Amino acid sequence: MTIAKGDTIPDVKLSKATADGPEQVSSSDFFAGRKVALFAVPGAYTPTCSAKHLPGFVDNAEALKAKGVDEIACTSVNDAFVMGAWNKSDGSDDITMLADGNGEFARALGLESDFDAYGMGKRSNRYSMIVDDGVVTEINVEGPGEFGVSGAEHMLGQL
């Protein structure tokens, strides 16, 4: 079952990429008590993710925060070291990287994709959502190979 508007984020362990290395965090704690703009990508350093998805949120971070977003987070089925390196090379201090190394978060949301045909295994769908105190208030899931509704520009219109 895919998560929907009004649903509570499931409690799953993630790894937050920090300057001091991975920090374990539960998703329920991370999303509690604030408004988070979350976006998910199939993989760090992949073409659309690096050329469009992450840069859109970097470029629009101030605008998102001006509309009431407390934190902007990116998740992917990568480890925290890869997510941290990607943020350092293409991201910004405005983006919190949440590693879903085993894909448990993607599975719990019902947003897991099968990239076996590309040699990439199980990954996350491309999506974005607004989560307010742990509850999904907006969700935007892309179709295979698409990029549009999960971008920062679309999310700005939802806030």
Q: Which two tokens stand for residue 88?
A: 């350092």
Sign of CA dihedral 76, 26, 143, 58: negative
Q: Is 49 a catalytic residue?
A: yes
Which DSSP category does 9 fall into? P
Secondary structure (3-state) at 59:
helix
Residues 6+ apart with CB under 8 A from 157: none
Q: Catalytic: which of 36, 49, 95, 155? A: 49
Among 141, 146, 100, smallest CA distance to 122 is for 100
d(CA 29, CA 47): 31
- The catalytic residues are 49
